[in-house]
Structure 1
Amino acid sequence: MLNIVLFGPPGAGKGTQSAKIKEKYNLVHLSTGDLLRSEIAAGTELGLKAKVLIDSGKLVPDEVVIGMIDHKLKENQDAEGFIFDGFPRTVKQAQALDELLQNNNTQISGMIALEVNEEELTQRILKRGETSGRTDDQDEALIRKRVQEYEEKTAPVAKHYKGQSKFTSVQGIGEIEEIFQSLSNAIDALK
């Protein structure tokens, strides 16, 4: 089973590249952002709680996210593998994911990080905000807070996977197809 953590700050291109990876490698795309947005759109209790946190630039509690991931793993037991997009965001989540996968007789094959600088990220997200309708994509101060939160809380996750020799870095600035080719080369090296 091929299980990839696609890593990078908000606006790095994880969603765009995940769709291409999913198609090429026949993997199930697990985006915690998409899962949370669907809960918000449905107006569930979880969705309402998540919306308050997301709108203030904060992360949703681990137990909620872990539960959603566990549910999706169980729904897709015959999958060839998974792309984890936007998860794990903390070392605690990475450890919980490792344990969750081990309990399902699999493991992370590798983490691939899209590297993009803060100014590029800010401009990408503001541009996305023009069409996404997401309020958190339209406020530059909130965007910068999200990137700072990523740097403080999420970037240490890379060390977790470096310690397991499962980390690869890919330049996330350039043409979409060029970035995808670099990602494909990194994924092919994991097989």
Structure 2
Amino acid sequence: MIITIFGPPGSGKGTQSNLLIAKYNLKLISVGDLLRNIISSGGELGKKIKDTVESGNLIQDEVICELLRDQLTLVDDNFLLDGFPRNLNQALFLTRILREKYNRDVNIIIELQLDDKIAIDRLKNRLVCLDCKGVYSATSFKNDDNLVCMKCKSARLERRIDDSDLSAIHRRISEYYIQIKSLREYYKDRLLTVNANLDVVQVKQEIESKISCNLV
């Protein structure tokens, strides 16, 4: 099974992706994690990507598609794509490369739908564990001296660089809505829309219910 999940910033793609790969025994390919790993490497490409991300702009399709091509050499045809495709050009690339490699296409396409106000509140308060990639809200902690990951007990909880600038957040959200129109049309026969304003458990249940109905 091949699943792709997309949604606006703050919609919980990473959280739901990790729940889905555990339930369906899938390999996770997170474009965001791949980009952050390149940034942390400190190379020339990482510096360029860092500047683009911090400004709230999107990375060039050529870079993203090449990263995905490399990752697909490491997996069989049971995986979940977190945050890819983000536009029609990437969707066309994905269809082409999946047919070339597996003679198939994506089975399940999930769109997480989220109100802008909730998205902004989540992003302003988002903390990410650098070790296990767990995601938290800063409001869950009493003070900044008690920032410990509840999953792996790491003290390395930080804000993402692309969450630090409110204008960049607004730009990312606006860009998402521009791109999503063509994706909805392209995937309209397989698109499962989910209310991401709900809590994590409720969103998980809605996703699993819709997947089950779609696989029957």
Q: Is the 8 A contact 1:112 1:167 kept in 2?
A: yes
Aligned mate of 1:157, from 176, 183, 186:
183
Is residue 195 of structure 2 the alignment partner of residue 171 of structure 1?
yes
- The aligned runs of 1:18-97 (5 Å cut-off) are 18-77=17-76, 81-97=78-94
**Structure 1: runs of 5+ lacking an equivalent:** none
Q: Is the 8 A contact 1:170 1:182 kept in 2?
A: yes
Query: What per-residue deviation string (whole Å, max 9, x for no partner) do you get for residues 131-175 of structure 1?
Result: 53323212222111110011112342121101xx11110111122
For this pair of structures, how many residues does the alignment match?
A: 186
- Please give the secondary structure, in 1, of the residue aligned with 2:105: coil
Residue of structure 2 in register with 1:13 after alignment: 12
CA distance in 1, matches of 2:42, 2:69: 21
Q: Is the 8 A contact 1:112 1:186 kept in 2?
A: no
**1:187 Cα offset (Å):** 2.0
CA distance in 1, matches of 2:26, 2:45: 27
- Please give the secondary structure, in 2, of the residue aligned with 1:75: coil
- The two structures, once aligned, show a CA RMSD in angstroms of 1.4
Report the structure number with the largest CA radius of gyration. Answer: 2
Percent identity of equivalent pairs: 34
**1:86 Cα offset (Å):** 1.0
- Please give the secondary structure, in 1, of the residue aligned with 2:57: coil
Q: After TM superposition, which residue ranges in structure 1, 4 or more long, deviate above 4 angstroms?
A: none
**1:70 Cα offset (Å):** 1.2
**1:103 Cα offset (Å):** 0.6
Is residue 208 of structure 2 the alignment partner of residue 184 of structure 1?
yes
- Please give the secondary structure, in 2, of the residue aligned with 1:92: helix
Q: Is the 8 A contact 2:9 2:172 kept in 1?
A: yes
CA distance in 2, matches of 1:115, 1:57: 20
- Please give the secondary structure, in 1, of the residue aligned with 2:194: strand
CA distance in 1, matches of 2:180, 2:33: 18
- Please give the secondary structure, in 2, of the residue aligned with 1:98: helix
TM-score (norm: length of structure 2)? 0.81
The amino acid of 1:69's aligned partner reads: L
The amino acid of 2:96's aligned partner reads: E
Q: Is the 8 A contact 1:32 1:86 kept in 2?
A: yes
Q: Is the 8 A contact 2:31 2:83 kept in 1?
A: yes
Is residue 158 of structure 2 the alignment partner of residue 132 of structure 1?
yes
Structure 1 pair 119/75, CA: closer, same or farther in 2 (3 Å)?
A: same
Q: Is the 8 A contact 1:109 1:190 kept in 2?
A: no
TM-score (norm: length of structure 1)? 0.92
CA distance in 2, matches of 1:68, 1:86: 13
**1:48 Cα offset (Å):** 1.7
- Please give the secondary structure, in 1, of the residue aligned with 2:110: strand
CA distance in 2, matches of 1:132, 1:85: 21
Residue of structure 2 in register with 1:110 after alignment: 108
